């Protein structure tokens, strides 16, 4: 009977050592996962800041792209106004009205 108890005790001690080794591996894995999760949080925060900066730059680029078109529209409007004024002046002078 004593031999049986000693044999069972030896098995329990071996299982305890094995379990301790497995627990240590799990602790290491948990630490690695925790660092990974922290890194992912930092990356997500930085990505949000980059997205905000890109949105801001997109607005600025759109405004810069619109400037030449706005200038062209203003130039065309002025040319139409000058042409209309010239034609009206010519018509009034032909009609005998002094301007």
Instruction: Find out whether 89 and 99 touch, Cβ atoms under 8 Å.
Output: yes
* pLDDT tens, position by position, 71-95: 888 999 999 999 999 999 988 888 8
Mean pLDDT of 19-42: 95
CA–CA distance, 80 with 86 (Å, rounded to integer): 10
Give per-residue pLDDT as tens, 6-22: 889 899 999 999 999 99
Has residue 55 got a pLDDT over 60? yes
Concatenated DSSP letters of 51-76:
HHHHHHHHHHHHHHHHHHHHHHHHHH
Question: Taking a C-beta distance cutoff of 8 angstroms, is the pair 74, 68 a contact?
Answer: no
């Amino acid at each position: 009977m004593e031999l049986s108890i000693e044999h069972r005790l030896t098995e329990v001690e071996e299982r305890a050592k094995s379990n301790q080794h497995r627990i240590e591996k799990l602790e290491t894995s948990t630490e690695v996962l925790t660092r990974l999760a922290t890194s992912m949080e930092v990356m997500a925060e930085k990505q949000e800041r980059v997205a905000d900066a890109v949105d801001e730059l997109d607005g600025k680029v759109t405004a810069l792209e619109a400037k030449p078109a706005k200038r062209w529209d203003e130039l065309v409007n002025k040319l139409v106004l000058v042409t209309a004024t010239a034609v009206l002046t010519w018509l009034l002078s032909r009609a005998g009205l002094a301007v």
